[in-house]
Every structure is written in structure tokens, then in C-alpha cells.
Amino acid sequence: MNLSKYAHPIETLLLAILLTGCPSRVTANPTVEPPPAAPLQPDASPAVDVVSRDTASSDSAAAPTPRGPLNVLYLTIDSLRSDVLHPRGASPAAFGEDPAVIAPTLTALAREGVTYTHAYAGSSYTSQSVGAMYGGRIPSELPRDGYFFGEYRNAMHSLAERITEGGGLAFAAHAHFYFARGASGLEQGFTRWELLPGLVRNQTTDVEVTSERLVTLVRDELTQASASANPWFLHAHFMDPHDQYKRHAGAPTMNTARGARALYLQEVWFTDSHLAALLTWVRAQPWAARTAIIVSADHGESFGEHGHFRHGFYLWEELTRVPWIFVIPGANPRTIEVARSHLDLAPTVLDLMGLPAASDLPGHSLRAELEGGDAPARVVWTDLAQTSDNDHWRARIDGSLVALARGNTSNSFYVYDLAVDPEERSPLPRTDPRRAAAIDAFRSENAQWHDLRPDQWRPPVAAH
């Protein structure tokens, strides 16, 4: 079946999801096991233009994308590694499982939208990565305290503030205690900022299952947002792939993944099924045809790579490379393999919403390439600001070369060639001229960042 004949990408997406056998709704404790999902058939999606890391641009004709203001629904999934969907070097996607079985909704979305296979979060754990999304800057440039669960200060000019200053609306729906008002400072500028009630506070893990309740909250938020004539932005953050990894009835049987990886993929499947339920509802709304949908993650996850588990503390690829998918009304399916950063999110959202550009931010609007324009290669940076719990790290990604610096003096470097060493197991030797060139480029360009010292290293006890 050729899905390209359908008028709207969301309709195309949901039909592709139905073809996979994905349940449209899954409860936390389903009593009936849904039928096993089947991979998408090769003819189930239109031809996809691919912009490789070598070509870096495309001559394909741009689709007739609506130029008027769009609403933006931004959905992020906690701890979702890029290689759940995209192979990383010789390593297969989804730890050897079929992504169309593990994440049928995301797989269909990637085929129907514009997909970035080399997208990078701003950092490696939620506090700093969401800060980078909202602030449009690397975490070390944002005014905040020095606590691991950092609190951002009012001096940060956030994406939500830029939206509301331009006449738009900004909504958010969250499912983790860190996002309580007054705890993170990330709520500044939002028209409405909602947190699921009764969440358990645990500083080391996430013990709850929240996807179903979050979908209900998001639907309520979207109903209120769409009642206004102003363009709106809504960010909803799904938590369930975050550890602790839980078993879910009806999840597919794993063929290759074992242990924590198998449980993690169950969590991905569970969240994916609730994402399907939300998108099914979105499709039926009158505002769907003028709404852009963006799906990504705040960071990845480690399963023993580099001797590390879970996330935070470092900037390895498994921690910072994330899926990034855009479904834009009128835009053709496309895969873009050049590196992009979540620092591009704020400029892109403002552009899609028809609001004033953020010319003071280092990121770039992706709208032109989302609509079929050239996608030039660019250097991408990731950053982990020093906190009470971790050292400072910063990485410069230029094509396949990664220069990773530890500490504030930038004297301790690891340089990798991802083309031959995608898992960053063997740093380039000191005798390799590419190592020296990458370090020189890092030191030269690092001056563009203006790091801020935290105003305190621990929050007052009464505030947390």
C-alpha cells in the first residue's frame, strides 16, 4: 500500500501504525495481550530522501509546506537512545531486536516525517538537557545553581518566554517530581505548567508508571491550548523508559536482548503504545492539519558501555545521541544524517510558530531543511556543566571526529573517529595528526562559549 496518497502526514502515520498491529491504547496492567506487532512492509511508506553525512545537502524539490504559523507539539521520551531506531556502526538497532516491533509508532513516525539519525541532546541527563532545550544554550552558559538537580534562575531567557513575548502560548505536562514548580526553575514563561499529582520523590531512580496518566493530562492541555486563536507550543515528557525498568504485560518477546536491556525495551514498547494512543486522538482534532509534531529524547542510556550504567556524569555517544523526528504539514519524508543539536530546537520552534527569531542564540532554525532545502554539515557541541555530583565535560562533534574534554582546563582529551569506532572504545593515538587537529579546533572554538559559575553549590534545605 502506498501511504503517500493521504493528505496529512499524521493520517499517514496512524495508518502505518495500524498496519503494524500496534494497540491504540495500553493500560498499566492490561488483561488481554495485544497481538504481536509486525514490521512495516517495504511498500508501506513513500520514498525517503536521504541526506548523508557525505553529501550534506539535497537537490530534492521542497514540498508545498504551509508558511503560516503552526502549532508545535513537542514530545520527549526519557532515556531513549538513538540506536533504538537507528543502527550505530556495526551494532544493530534495538540491541538486535526489530525496531518496528519494539517501537512501531516511532518507526512509522520516522518513515513518515523528517528524521535525524545523528541528533544530539544538549547534555546527558534531564536537568541539563531540558535546560539546554529551553535555554537554547549549552548548560554551562545558563544561570543556575550547582546542584545535580539544578535550579535555573530567572535570568535565563527561555523558549517559553520568547513564545509568550511573541504572542504565542506555551504549555507543558510532566511526570517527574523534578518538574514541580519552584524546584527546577524551568517553568518560567509557560502559560500553563502541569505536573501529575502524587508523584513519589526519589533522588536516585523513577519508581512509577505514568504514561497513561500523562496522555490524559496532555489531552486536557491540548484542548485548552487549541481553544485560543494564538499559535501554541506544548512540551510533554514521557518518563517510563527511565530506570527502574519494569515488565509490562503484552510486551513482545525479546529474541536477542537480555537482562536490563530487555526490560528497557519493554519500557520503550509500553511508552510507544501510549504515544500511539495520543497521536490517534491528535489526528481526530480540527487543528491537526496546522500542527507540527516533534519527537525526541532528553538523553540516552548506558548499559555497561565505558563501565557506566543509566545516564549522566559523562558525554559518551550512548548518552547524548537521541532520536529526532519532525512531522511537518506538507513536508516530504526525509532522512538527514548530518549532525544536529537540540540547541537548534528553540530557533526552529519559533520559526514554525511564525514568531520573532532568536538571533542571540547559537542554534539554527531547521525549517528550511525540514521543507526540503539543503542540510549543510555543521559542528555540534554537547556539554555537562560541573555540579555537586559530577565533573565538567564538553564534546565537539565534527563529522565523524569527536573531541571529548574533561575538566575546566580542557587539558584532558579523548578523540574518537566514529566512522571506524562508533562505540568510542579506542581513542586516537597521540601520533595521529587528526587527534592534534581536533584538539586544536576544540580549543580555538571553545572560546565562543561563555561559562557561568553556579551561584551556589547546594540549594537551601527548605527549597528541596
Predicted confidence (pLDDT) at residue 435 exceeds the cutoff of 90: yes
Closest CA to 313 of 262, 374, 387, 366: 387
**Edge-to-edge strand list for the sheet holding 401-406:** 380-384, 393-398, 401-406, 412-417
Which CATH number applies to 71-380? 3.40.720.10
Q: What is the pLDDT of residue 204?
A: 66
Q: Which pLDDT tens digit goes with each residue over 141-154?
A: 999 999 988 899 99
Predicted confidence band at 462 (pLDDT cuts at 50, 70, 90)? Answer: very low
For residues 125 and 105, what is the distance between their CA atoms, to the nearest angstrom? 24
Instruction: With cut-offs at 50, 70 and 90, classify the pLDDT of residue 461.
Output: low
Residue bearing the bigger pLDDT, 21 or 196:
196
Lowest mean pLDDT of 24-38, 300-314, 426-440, name the range: 24-38
Q: Do 312 and 144 meet the contact criterion of CB atoms below 8 Å apart?
A: no
More confident residue, 236 or 65: 236
Domain ranges of the chain: 71-380, 381-457
Per the confidence metrics, is the pTM higher than 0.85? yes
Q: In whole angstroms, what is the distance from residue 15 CA to residue 18 CA?
A: 5
71-380 shares its CATH topology with 381-457 = no
What number of other Cβ atoms are within 10 A of residue 103's Cβ? 31
> Average pLDDT of 111-115?
96
**170, 233 contact by CB (below 8 A):** yes
Quote the Cα angle for 45-74-103, to 5°. 45
* Res. 19: pLDDT tops 70: no
CATH code for the structural domain at 381-457: 3.30.1120.10
